[in-house]
Amino acid sequence: MKIAQSLLALAVGLLAVGAQAAEPKVRFRVHTDAAPSTPAAAAAPAATAAVKPAAAPAAAAPALSAATVAAPAGGARAPWQGASVSAQSVPAVYLTEWKKAKNRDRCAPLALVGAEKEAGLKVRRASFSDGWAVAYDAPDQRSAFGIAGTGLDIDGKGYRFPNNLSWSDGSKVSYGLEGGTGPGYLGYLEVAGQRCLYNIWSARGQKHLESLLLSLRKVQTP
């Protein structure tokens, strides 16, 4: 009888130990199931909130569309497709800087023809590593606008601005607010037959930059 009681006590003890051993697993399992569900519920409003800021750029869409519609189609003739202008018809600094540039074999000189005729403007060299550049200083503003044949080669991975134009010769330009905020405008120009990336800039706004693009001509070289 004592043996039976001992065996019964042992069995009860083993069951108790088994229950204790199993309990943490049950709690752990419940805990891990509950943890994802709680953040998931909390995350829902965050996801909704994230969508709202993302919708903000949509306000800029009409401006981008308007710019695209107003731009010439890809079949338009590029301003520089005509005959090159003589070196004597543009400020001497253009060829002076181009001749010193390391990229002159792949970056033909393009000039802003007629821009120097504005009263009070000073035309000078600007510094662009391995390339050439010409800047125009206004009486009240240094580097009001200018052009550079940069030392960067075209790789198809450049930054894309909101406004984009293309021409029938395959040339294209992407331009917009410098740094995305301005106030100046900057354009990245790729000219057919040239391997460098040209920069056109203007502190006078988008319309002025677009007028500069129309004034660009290739300059005859020695």
Q: Please tell me what DSSP assigns to residue 134.
A: E
User: CB under 8 Å to 126, separation ≥6 — which residues?
Assistant: 133, 134, 135, 143, 146, 148
Q: Does 42 or 144 have the greater pLDDT score? A: 144
Q: Please tell me what DSSP assigns to residue 86.
A: P
Could you tell me if 136 and 154 are in contact, meaning their C-beta atoms sit under 8 angstroms apart?
Answer: no
User: CB under 8 Å to 112, separation ≥6 — which residues?
Assistant: 134, 136, 145, 146, 147, 212, 215, 216
- State the virtual CA torsion across 28, 34, 38, 44 in degrees, nearest 10: 130
Could you tell me if 188 and 165 are in contact, meaning their C-beta atoms sit under 8 angstroms apart?
Answer: no
Q: Using CA atoms, how far apart are residues 221 and 8, in angstroms rounded to an integer?
A: 109
Q: Using CA atoms, how far apart are residues 83 and 94, in angstroms rounded to an integer?
A: 17
pLDDT tens across 154-211, in order? 987 777 899 999 999 999 999 999 999 999 999 999 999 999 999 999 999 999 999 9
The answer, yes or no, to whether the previous bond of 36 is cis (omega within 30 of 0) is no
Q: Phi and psi for 90 in degrees, rounded to 5?
A: -130, 160
Model pLDDT, residue 73: 52
pLDDT tens across 68-106, in order? 333 455 579 999 998 999 999 999 999 999 999 999 999
The sign of the torsion formed by the CA atoms of 163, 125, 219, 103 equals negative
The sign of the torsion formed by the CA atoms of 156, 158, 164, 167 equals negative
Terminus-to-terminus CA distance in the chain, angstroms?
122
**149, two tokens:** 């044949």
pTM greater than 0.85 (yes/no): no
Give the amino acid at 198.
Y
